[in-house]
Amino acid sequence: MIYNEIDLAQYPICDTDIWIDAVLADLDSALVHKYHRLIVADVVEKEILKFRKNDRFKIIAEKFLTYKKGKKIIVINHSDIEEEDRKFLEKQLVECDNRFETGLADDPHERHKGEIVSAIYAEYFEIPFLKSNDGAFHEGNMGRVAFPDLTVKNLRDMLEDLVLDKAKRRECYQVIKDNREFMEEGKRLYEEKKNKPVTERQVQDLLSKLRNRI
């Protein structure tokens, strides 16, 4: 299907997690080069751009904006979809998970919506497959039940597509895993100390712990 004069069927659609992992492993350039362009839902863009406020991981948002400016990332804006079609897609969204209440506009933002909207757009715009690392698309889970015919490529698939050397592939996976753990620990510290800034000592202790695992 043509969107803003671009045939989206030529390119894969990515959700938030797979883009984060590609940047963490420094594979974003290889990913874009392999597929020439990536398609992203506007709700996913919103999730990615939140990293602009994260000093340690703001490169995730910065690289996204650079590729978007260079027209290597195409963002599907829900407001560009005809009203009747948009209502139909929002009905699909609620049928997937009735906890979603803000529709495709996603204002205020609802967590975990990006991967389902990406799947809905993949089907609607006839995009060939979805690159996703989200558990919603594991066998038997919500995404797989709602979109049984959608081809989904996950983190393992991405690494095999982009990294031929097995040792390098394992290294990339470990980098992603370590940084993901760092992110999760940072969230935990934030929740525990919402009104207190995380100290540099806490950051260094966490980095030291992660490095000792490598």
The backbone torsions φ and ψ at residue 189, rounded to the nearest 5 degrees and listed phi first, read -65, -40
**Model confidence over 57-84: pLDDT tens digits?**
999 999 999 999 999 999 999 999 999 9
How many C-beta neighbours within 10 Å does residue 204 have?
10
**Model confidence over 123-140: pLDDT tens digits?**
999 998 888 876 555 555
CATH architecture of 2-162: 3-Layer(aba) Sandwich (3.40)
pTM > 0.85: yes or no: no
Regarding predicted confidence, which is higher, 145 or 45? 45
The answer to whether residues 114 and 107 touch, using CB atoms and an 8 Å cutoff, is no
